Amino acid sequence: MEFTGIYLTQYEGAILGPVAKLLGYLMDWIFNGLYAIGIPNIGIAIILFTIVIYMLMLPLTIKQQKFSKLSAKMNPEIQAIQKKYNGKKDNDSVMAMNQETQAVYAKYGVSPTGSCVQLLIQMPILMALYRVIYAIPAYVGKVKEIFIPMSEALYSQSGIKNFIEGLSNANYFSSQFKNALYIDNDPTYVKNVIIDSFNRASTAEWHSAMDLFTGQSDLIGKAMVDFENFNNFLGLNIANSPSFTIKTALADKHFLLIIGALMVPVLAALTQWINTKLMPQPENGNTQTDQMAATMKSMNVMMPLMSAFFCYTMPIGMGIYWIAGAVVRCIQQIVINKHIDKMDIDEIIEKNSAKAEKKIKKQQENIQRMNEYATMNTRNMGIGDKARLANNASDNGKNANNSVAGDFTKTVNAKPGSLASKANMVTDYNNRK
């Protein structure tokens, strides 16, 4: 079996799987473009990839920010309605409150679930994006190709399974190790697992493989050099984490490498902090907004710290994506804020109010037409019923007359031994049937 199609690291989830494959095609296209112009670098591909994705999501981001702006202006009216019906639990009050609340939402042209919808659309994209970046060989053909000669050679080597199962990132492939195809030593499956494992292996573990499988050291060394060339970004191997890079750099006294590795989590935290500061902040003035402001303040502290921790422990490639994404969001947020500040909110509200009134009028007209149609059907049903009753009565009368006539004919015209008497016998027989 040849190394074609889906690799094991491609995510096969029902929702994220297809999205990841689509994003994988985009990543492969970007990398091939860089390869064609002599810049086959995964780090640059990740940056361009991130920019394209966030630009595609820009309309959703603008819509979400517009929703936040309108919500801030709308909230006092919503709170006034809630205060008006506070403590009233009867059905009439609940229905009246819901109607008034819906009228306010219609006035501002927003949906109670508007913000949630935007997030629901964005989240699968961002999660699938993570899957692609974390498993580059699964989606980028040029990167996959450098592993194939090595994996084919290592497949037949005694101890290869023990080696890949003992790697530091082997926990990511625990399900593959338990798969029946892996246990039965299926060639394609095992070779794919080898590729997946070496994609997550550190530089030291690559060297360990060269020392252990000496007969294949040349193939392993070539794959490592090619992979590191693809992964080299400003002197950093993006397949390694900053923590691992700093540890090895300290042993080699490579201080510039230490500084470079430290800059990844620091820049991730800094760009995330700037991004949170640029986000619309809730206005003070009531208990609800004060609580939201307190939550936002804590998030402004926690998010940068979490970004620093994740980008310190994860591969540098994920850190590049994190930083690039935060920078793009910052630029987008600055542009969006300027755009929203120029918007005439009162004009938007006036237009939305007109649309809402037109919609309500149309709904009322539809209801009226339905009522008229229902009345016409009722009348038609009455006419039809009367006609059917009249027809039935007529038919019953005819049948009765025929029956009487028949009986009269039998009694009056029948003579013993005549044809009429025989006809009466047939009639009686038919009536009994």
Smallest CA-to-CA distance from 153 within 239, 50, 223, 56 is with 223
- Tokens for 46? 């990740």
Please give the Cα distance from 126 to 117 (Å, whole number). 15
- pLDDT average, residue stretch 217-232: 91
pLDDT tens readout for residues 326-343: 899 888 888 887 877 776
Q: Which residues contact 53 (CB under 8 A, 6 or more apart)?
A: 23, 26, 125, 129
| pLDDT(28) > 80 | yes
96 near 85, Cβ under 8 Å? Answer: yes
| pLDDT(425) > 50 | yes
What's the confidence (pLDDT) of residue 296? Answer: 60
Q: State the number of CA atoms in the 13 A half-sphere of 109 facing the CB.
A: 18
111 near 101, Cβ under 8 Å? Answer: no
When pLDDT is cut at 50, 70 and 90, the band that residue 152 belongs to is very high
Please give the Cα distance from 266 to 316 (Å, whole number). 12
Tell the residue number behind the tokens 């025929």, with chain if given. Answer: 402
- pLDDT average, residue stretch 147-175: 88
Q: Which amino acid is at 81?
A: I
pLDDT tens readout for residues 380-389: 655 555 555 4
Q: Which of residues 5 and 301 earns the better pLDDT score?
A: 301
239 near 227, Cβ under 8 Å? Answer: yes
Q: Which of residues 422 and 208 earns the better pLDDT score?
A: 208
- Whole-number mean pLDDT of the chain? 77
CA 104-108-112 angle, to 5 degrees, is 70
Smallest CA-to-CA distance from 139 within 14, 32, 231 is with 32
What's the confidence (pLDDT) of residue 350? Answer: 74
When pLDDT is cut at 50, 70 and 90, the band that residue 264 belongs to is very high
What's the confidence (pLDDT) of residue 163? Answer: 93
Q: Which of residues 200 and 37 earns the better pLDDT score?
A: 37
Please give the Cα distance from 264 to 241 (Å, whole number). 10
pLDDT tens readout for residues 176-206: 888 888 899 999 889 988 988 888 787 788 9
What's the confidence (pLDDT) of residue 370? Answer: 75
Give the largest CA-CA distance in the chain.
138
- pLDDT average, residue stretch 67-94: 79
When pLDDT is cut at 50, 70 and 90, the band that residue 412 belongs to is very low
When pLDDT is cut at 50, 70 and 90, the band that residue 410 belongs to is very low
CA 251-254-257 angle, to 5 degrees, is 115
Residue 237's DSSP bridge partners are: 232
What's the confidence (pLDDT) of residue 400? Answer: 46
Q: Which of residues 367 and 18 earns the better pLDDT score?
A: 18
By percentage, how much of the chain surpasses pLDDT 90? 17
- Tokens for 202? 């550190």
Q: Which of residues 357 and 78 earns the better pLDDT score?
A: 78
When pLDDT is cut at 50, 70 and 90, the band that residue 251 belongs to is confident
Please give the Cα distance from 281 to 345 (Å, whole number). 17
40 near 34, Cβ under 8 Å? Answer: yes
CA 145-16-328 angle, to 5 degrees, is 80
What's the confidence (pLDDT) of residue 153? Answer: 92
What's the confidence (pLDDT) of residue 219? Answer: 93
Domain locations along the chain: 360-432
Q: Which of residues 395 and 266 earns the better pLDDT score?
A: 266
- pLDDT average, residue stretch 19-28: 88
- pLDDT average, residue stretch 359-368: 72
Counted residue by residue, the chain has a size of 433
